[in-house]
Amino acid sequence: MKALVLEAVKKLRIQDYPINETVGPYDVKIAIKACGICGSDIHYYLEGAIGDFVVKEPMILGHEAAGIIVEKGEKVTGAALGDLVCMEPGIPAPFSPETLGGNYNLDPEVVFWATPPIHGCLRETVTHPARFCFKLPQGMTAAEGAMMEPLAIGIEAAKKGRITPGDTALVIGAGTIGTLAAVSASAGGCSRVFISDVKAEKLGIAGSYPNIIPINTGKTNLLDTIMQETGGRGVDLIIEASGSPKVYPDFFRCARRGGRVVLVGMMNGTVPLDVALLQGRGISIETIFRYTNAFDRAAALVSAGKIDIKRLISKTFAFDDAVAAYEYAAAGHPDVVKVMIELA
Ligand SMILES: NC(=O)c1ccc[n+]([C@@H]2O[C@H](COP(=O)([O-])OP(=O)(O)OC[C@H]3O[C@@H](n4cnc5c(N)ncnc54)[C@H](O)[C@@H]3O)[C@@H](O)[C@H]2O)c1
Ligand SMILES: [Zn+2]
């Protein structure tokens, strides 16, 4: 079938690629209709690796997708041919201690699209467990459905942040993930969500949402601004979504006493922590790794009008132009959030 294959670093080609997938009793086959380009896809494209995950064989890219069910296994219930679904890209082992313990995202055996050596889903069809496919509410498009994957990360961050209605939040980093964490925190009940970045264009997009207040830390001091805005108390919740080591350890000072911090941004290497400060202020730290049970919630929030996701799809390419789409995404235009590829 036609697929976008990463053959080597910076060598991408649409080709007819042999894929041998059988539809098991609990699987569905999906004709892919839209697939977003993620930061991780760009890392594999430009560098061929993320940490220990190294692309050694040709690999199909893409893990943020939606499509139409065209075949289903005999034991599948609650899904019909023709359903437009988005897919959760990681399949955990069903009986691992992590899955049984409720943290299926942490299963070390998870099979996750476009994470070497596993092929991604930027191809004509994929076969996937029906339980990891989520029917999109009426009116949602495939492109919006493909956005449920990054939105699921925002939802997970908000969930781990244990929001009480009326909380104030600060999200650090207004990239795709930070912006989606901010809209999730707002939809989750925060009264005001501050978002900081050093790029005005990113802040312009995030700040176009109601309730989200941009802070350009290239121009103003983050701690001073947060303290001014919160009567010297600090915010209830901080979501770190920049992945920049430079923000450590200072940003913790923006949390109020008893506040929570959720670490989303990833990095290589270590960062300093002011343990006494965290203890003295009773600040608790959570981390997230991907998500659990978040896709249907993400779609429900979009469908309910609580999150406008369309706004973040900056440019759409046809599948035949997928290489150009990757080059465009890799150029890192500051006013671009999500680059989407649509399949006929
Ligand atoms: N924990 C998880 O499961 C998970 C999942 C997906 C992504 N991530 C991580 O989330 C982070 C964000 O991902 P993304 O796709 O939005 O990346 P991105 O590069 O689009 O966004 C990062 C943003 O942080 C901003 N930034 C850089 N330095 C800053 C600073 N000092 N202060 C404020 N903002 C600053 C950048 O200008 C950029 O807008 C990455 O580290 C990524 O690896 C984590
Ligand atoms: Zn992604």
Question: What's the gap in Å between 200 CA and the centre of ligand 2?
Answer: 23
| Cα diameter, the chain | 61
Distances (CA, A) of 74 to 26, 86, 125, 143: 7, 21, 19, 29
Residues 6+ apart with CB under 8 A from 325: 37, 315, 317, 339, 341
DSSP one-letter code for 101: T
Question: CATH number of the domain that 103 lies in?
Answer: 3.90.180.10
Question: CATH number of the domain that 254 lies in?
Answer: 3.40.50.720
Do 143 and 23 fall into the same domain?
A: yes
Residues 141-151: tens digit of each pLDDT: 999 999 999 99
Residues 213-240: tens digit of each pLDDT: 999 999 999 999 999 999 999 999 999 9
Instruction: Name the β-bridge partners of 65.
Output: 35
Do 138 and 274 fall into the same domain?
A: no
| The pLDDT of residue 272 | 94
Nearest to 68 by CA among 101, 100, 28, 95: 28
Do 222 and 97 fall into the same domain?
A: no
Do 226 and 138 fall into the same domain?
A: no
Q: Which domain holds residue 119?
A: 2-147+309-342
Do 214 and 142 fall into the same domain?
A: no
Decide if 293 is inside a domain: no
Do 125 and 207 fall into the same domain?
A: no
- Nearest ligand to the CA atom of 312: 1
DSSP one-letter code for 136: P
- Nearest ligand to the CA atom of 267: 1
Residue 177 identity (one-letter amino acid): I
Distances (CA, A) of 85 to 25, 60, 117: 18, 20, 25
| The pLDDT of residue 268 | 87
Number of Cβ atoms within 10 Å of the Cβ of 181: 36
Q: Evaluate the CA torsion angle 67, 68, 73, 79 in order and state its sign.
A: positive
Question: What's the gap in Å between 240 CA and the centre of ligand 1?
Answer: 8
Which portions of the chain are predicted below pLDDT 50?
none
Question: What's the gap in Å between 150 CA and the centre of ligand 2?
Answer: 5
Backbone torsion region of residue 203, taken as left when φ is above 0, otherwise alpha when ψ lies between -120 and 50, otherwise beta: alpha
| Token pair of 230 as six digits | 């919160």
Measured distance CA(300)–CA(323) in Å, rounded: 32
Measured distance CA(293)–CA(303) in Å, rounded: 17
Phi/psi for 193 (5° steps) reads -120, 115
Residue with tokens 């121009």: 219
Do 141 and 171 fall into the same domain?
A: no
Question: What's the gap in Å between 179 CA and the centre of ligand 1?
Answer: 10
| The pLDDT of residue 83 | 98
Angle CA(128)–CA(130)–CA(133) in degrees, nearest 5?
85
Instruction: Name the β-bridge partners of 285.
Output: 261
Residue 341, classed as helix, strand or coil, is: strand
Decide if 301 is inside a domain: no
Do 253 and 330 fall into the same domain?
A: no
Do 237 and 315 fall into the same domain?
A: no
Do 323 and 188 fall into the same domain?
A: no
Do 213 and 187 fall into the same domain?
A: yes
Q: Which residues line ligand 1 (CB under 6 A)?
A: 39, 153, 172-178, 196-199, 202, 217, 241-244, 246-247, 264-266, 288-290
Decide if 295 is inside a domain: no
Q: For the chain, what is the domain count?
A: 2
**How does DSSP assign 217-234, residue by residue?**
TTTS-HHHHHHHHTTTS-
Decide if 226 is inside a domain: yes
Do 129 and 168 fall into the same domain?
A: no
Does the predicted model carry a pTM greater than 0.75? yes
- Nearest ligand to the CA atom of 250: 1
Residue 70, classed as helix, strand or coil, is: strand
Instruction: Name the β-bridge partners of 307.
Output: none
| The pLDDT of residue 271 | 96
